[in-house]
Amino acid sequence: MIRRLRSALVPYALALPAGLWLAIFFVAPMIVMLSVALETGNLISGFTLTWHFATFWQAIDLYHVQFIRSFVYGLVTTVLTIVIGYPVAYWIAFRGGRRKSTYLLLILLPFFVSFVIRTVSWQFLLADNGILLGHLKAWHLVSQNFHVLATSFAVVLGLTYNFLPFMILPIYVGLERVDESLLDAAADLYSSKREAFLRVVLPLSVPGVFAGVLLTFVPAVSDYVNAQILGGTSTTMIGNIIETVYLENNQYPTAAALSFVLLAALLIGIFAYARALGTEDVFEAAAA
């Protein structure tokens, strides 16, 4: 009886550290954030919990454009990182040979530099008279009025560059686990390279794509550095709004409401994405 009880409690004991971690650093901050969002008052007289749910509707009504823009930027960035990152990860996994570690190091090398500095470097590259556009204008390849900074293109470009490794590495891990004998078997069954990729490699790399999408989409949507440095007033993301409302306007309930809505929307999107993709299929492919 005691042995059965111990066997039944072992899984819960193993999951206890992760559960405590989530409770302390995720659930508890969410509860605090929700309580702050329901407060009213000001910085001088203080804030009081009055269960003012209207703050959520007011925040969404005022900043719904920035919410939509952030999700659009995040979606476009995720798609671009897949389009760019999957071929790179595929080439390293199947053609990298002994230099796989070197190629992965080159991908990770920019991470040794601050996120802000990497983004500012793009500001110099994309400036109207910068290294790139300055020469193109001097050669009369583009008009003198042409500019890239303060546009959606510049923000998405910065997001794609900064979060590309988050897509490449998980996909590489998924592709690295593909047994090449399966490709030989597909060739023996008269499958073309295209059919072997679509029927063997791509399904087995789904766990990597799944992880890459999560690691890219979530931080891209909530990012504010790229929009602040590379964007303008027409490219403001919800992260910029939260920063301004909290640090400059000192409207803590509104900032907390915006943060809570953003996190809730991301969680709903993640669960919907996982359900649509089929988490069981993902885990089965990962186990295989």
pLDDT digits (tens, 9 = 90+) for 71-127: 999 999 999 999 999 999 999 998 888 899 999 999 999 888 889 999 999 998 888
Domains belonging to the chain, first-starting first, are 62-287 (1.10.3720.10)
Cα–Cα dist 64/67, whole Å = 5
Please calculate the CA angle 264-269-272 and round it to the nearest 5 degrees.
125
Which range among 7-16, 133-142, 271-280 shows the weakest confidence by mean pLDDT? Answer: 271-280
Residue 197 reports pLDDT greater than 90: no
- Per the CB < 8 A criterion, the answer to whether 194 and 201 are in contact is no
Residue 283 reports pLDDT greater than 50: no
Beta-bridge mates of residue 47: 41
Residue 25 reports pLDDT greater than 80: yes
> Residue 46, SS3?
strand
Per-residue model confidence (pLDDT) at position 1 = 63
In angstroms, what CA-CA distances link 84 with 81, 89, 90, 273?
5, 9, 11, 21
Residue 282 reports pLDDT greater than 70: no
Per-residue model confidence (pLDDT) at position 144 = 82
Per-residue model confidence (pLDDT) at position 226 = 95
Q: Which of 18-27, 76-85, 186-195, 196-205 has the highest mean pLDDT?
A: 76-85
Residue 145 reports pLDDT greater than 80: yes
